[in-house]
Structure 1
Amino acid sequence: MTRLTHHLNILLSTLMLCGAACLASSATAGITYRLEQTHAVPGETVNVRAVLFNDSDTALTWTTPKNLVLQWRSENGKTIRSLAYLDGAEAAINVPVNNFVKLSWRAVVPSEAQGLQAVNIEGEPTLMALDTSPKEHSLIASGPAAVPVIDAGAASAGSRSDPPLPENVVAAAGATADQGPPVTARYGLASNSNSAFENFRSAISAYEPIYFDVGNKGGKNARYQVSFKYRLFTPNDPENPEFVDNIYLGYTQTALWDLHSDSHPFVDTSFKPSLFWRKDALWQSAQKDWFVGLATGVEHESNGKSGDDSRSLNFAYIQPELNYRFDGGSTLTFAPRIKSYFSLESHNPDYADYAGHVDWKLRFAQDNGLVLTGLYRQGDKGRNATQIEAAWPLRRTFLNMNGYIHVQYFKGYSETLLGYNHKSDGQVRLGIALVP
């Protein structure tokens, strides 16, 4: 065997091993089930919850079954079969790459079910448990287990009992003599926490894009924006929110920063508080590919300055949002914001002549991929503004970090509130976005 042949064999073997490793670790799609309740008596309704997940590299289409066949098996081996009924209508669900969909079926506990039941979904390797005994006789819901925590598998030769763990080890795990700690609450995952911080954290979310970009046309400069929204009411039923559950307070701050001058002054900053109602899907097609959302509210914008540099405006708006989900795992959104101004300040009464009454927005977003956004405004007498943005996740680069690499192009009027009636030449800025 020549040296060249030997090296080629080594290379081929390496490639085959790498390919096998990739196949062995390839992502999959599937569904997991669980019972929402651990205790229910005969005649009561229980909920079978499911998560349909897609960790593969292609979009998944799955038709939800109207019924699941359940097997109920008691401790003495008695078997009962019944049906669980889908919440909602049957539909072909599109699950994008790296996404999931929650589903639910309702089932009534059979009248003949007694004691602890092993519940199986026929055709699935899923086994769940439900205690159907009255609570005072329940094996699960009757009370804590007043037995020691043992060192499982540590039984000595000739003994069938594992010894109890030392008290300090049990205490370090957060357990008492008869009950362990609720894991979700202990590690900050409790969804029903009533603390002020938990309520705040669950109500706040992203609103407009958050980015910091730097350009060098006409001297080094930066443009940045921070934004968030706050849900005013917590839904009693998150899966079926009421009208008031979609009311938000919003805040956005945009600034243009001069990095070229000696003192690095801010050219202008816009402060934009808002109050609005928003729902992402007022209507959606049976195939879940088309869906229509709506946002409407009022917004105030000012630059916080006084005297001749003071600028402020108020407007009410309505923003219909037409969305289309592609099978490949991306979404195209057309969302024109139609504005009606009121209470314009005396320093900028002609603002609408430069910024127009409609923000024409178009957005294309791949799941965990490229995000493209376009904004166009048309004022009077040919005055207009164009803003184009592109973002790419940094986790998909050699940096492997959070956030996005962000590129923004702007040309036209109203880049700042102070200079709304001055036309900006085309400017490209590059930076990082937290929310594209």
Structure 2
Amino acid sequence: MMITFTRILICFLLMVMFSNLQAQQLFQLSDDYIVKTYSERWELDSVYQQGTFRLMSYKPIYLAPVRWSSKPNDKPTSDNPDFSSTTSFPYNNIEAKFQVSFKTKLVQGIFWGKGDIWLGYTQKAHWQVFNTGLSRVFRELNYEPEIVFKYPVRWKFFGGQFRSVGLSFNHQSNGRDLPNSRSWNRIIFHMGYQNDDWIITLNPWIRLEDEEDENPNIGKYIGNAEINVAYNYHRHQFYSIITHPFNQIKGGSIQLNYVFPLKGHLRGHVQLFEGYGETLIDYNFRQTTLGFGISFADW
């Protein structure tokens, strides 16, 4: 059922794209994108509001043709034995990775004329493109549709401002069969802060119960919250994504990114990851990865 829901969301986003944007507008991701304020990105002020059903970037969009892993997860396991693989796969420790992410506003100006409801979709792919022995398979695909509510605020704090609060219903799955199927549902709370060239978002979540738990104790490994920290310096951007459990020291992950200009609108991207859960199939698997590629849209 969740896979069907994901497909419906993909079709909806495609219809929005072709009915409301020309292709040239969609892919015209200019250099000044990285210096947009948090308020501009989420249209928190009336001067930035552009109406509903316009497709725009959401989370970072990038392509890393080369990604190295210190220890490929060649035999995925789960704390639920029904979802532990009995077969070992000869994965390469070098693969390609890419992420696409878009959002569109569904409703504008609810709750005292200020709140907005957005539909977001993110897809992350890990591709064994150099592995001819496995016919260059996609090792893992993660699908992440969500409904997001954002409400603007202006709370001064340490020289900056908290600019929004909100929450989202988030579903994430890999669309695979037993024993490698993984999925979970969350209610994620949002709080966004900006201070000059710094943007910080704090996102704690509550995992919703699942009768057929494919990844028990996922919170123990990936964590119960995520914090994103982004800093813009001219045409350079540094951002990190950190997850961690509330009640223990072990667990969580950190992803460090550096985006830099190459030529014209083309920007390079270096990404370092360490910890658990780079993908859903790796939720309880720890590794270090390093990827090199190009970036199209950032925080």
Alignment TM-score > 0.5, same fold: yes
With over 3 angstroms needed to count, the CA separation of the structure-2 counterparts of 1:102 and 1:269, relative to structure 1, is closer
CA distance in 2, matches of 1:420, 1:291: 31
**Matched AA of 1:391:** V
Aligned mate of 1:206, from 33, 45, 57: 57
Query: Displacement of 1:383 after TM fit?
Result: 1.9
Query: Displacement of 1:291 after TM fit?
Result: 4.4
**Matched AA of 1:384:** G
Residue 226 (structure 1) aligns with: 100
Q: Is structure 2 residue 187 aligned with structure 1 residue 319?
A: no
Structure scoring higher RCO (CA < 8 A, sep ≥ 6) equals 2
Higher-helix-fraction structure:
2
Contact 1:219 1:259 in 2 (8 A): no
| Secondary structure of residue in 1 paired with 2:278 | coil
Query: Displacement of 1:235 after TM fit?
Result: 5.8
Map 1:284-295 to 2 at 5 A.
290-295=161-166
Alignment TM-score, normalising by the size of structure 1:
0.47
| Secondary structure of residue in 1 paired with 2:131 | coil
CA distance in 2, matches of 1:219, 1:309: 19
Query: Displacement of 1:374 after TM fit?
Result: 1.1
Query: Displacement of 1:282 after TM fit?
Result: 1.2
CA distance in 2, matches of 1:205, 1:256: 23
Residue 373 (structure 1) aligns with: 239
Aligned mate of 2:67, from 215, 231, 240: 215
CA distance in 2, matches of 1:261, 1:102: 51
Contact 2:108 2:117 in 1 (8 A): no
Residue 362 (structure 1) aligns with: 229
Residue 271 (structure 1) aligns with: 143
Contact 1:219 1:260 in 2 (8 A): no
Query: Displacement of 1:403 after TM fit?
Result: 4.0
| Secondary structure of residue in 2 paired with 1:242 | helix
Contact 2:95 2:127 in 1 (8 A): yes
Q: Is structure 2 residue 294 aligned with structure 1 residue 432?
A: yes
CA distance in 1, matches of 2:255, 2:153: 28
Residue 383 (structure 1) aligns with: 251
CA distance in 1, matches of 2:127, 2:280: 13
Q: Is structure 2 residue 286 aligned with structure 1 residue 423?
A: yes
Residue 201 (structure 2) aligns with: 335
**Matched AA of 1:221:** E
Query: Displacement of 1:289 after TM fit?
Result: 5.2
Which whole-Å deviations, capped at 9, do the CAs of 1:230-266 have from their partners, x for residues lacking one?
1013569xxx99245x100110001111123111111
Number of residue pairs aligned between Structure 1 and Structure 2: 223
Contact 1:270 1:304 in 2 (8 A): yes
Larger radius of gyration: 1
Aligned mate of 1:250, from 107, 120, 128: 120
Contact 1:208 1:228 in 2 (8 A): yes
With over 3 angstroms needed to count, the CA separation of the structure-2 counterparts of 1:274 and 1:102, relative to structure 1, is closer
| Secondary structure of residue in 2 paired with 1:336 | strand
| Secondary structure of residue in 2 paired with 1:343 | coil
Higher-strand-fraction structure:
2
CA distance in 2, matches of 1:314, 1:370: 34
**Matched AA of 2:239:** T
Percent identity for Structure 1 against Structure 2: 24
| Secondary structure of residue in 1 paired with 2:121 | strand
Alignment TM-score, normalising by the size of structure 2:
0.67
Which whole-Å deviations, capped at 9, do the CAs of 1:356-408 have from their partners, x for residues lacking one?
10112211123x511111122224461221100011233xxxx22x2421110
CA distance in 2, matches of 1:433, 1:241: 37
CA distance in 2, matches of 1:232, 1:429: 34
Contact 2:108 2:114 in 1 (8 A): no
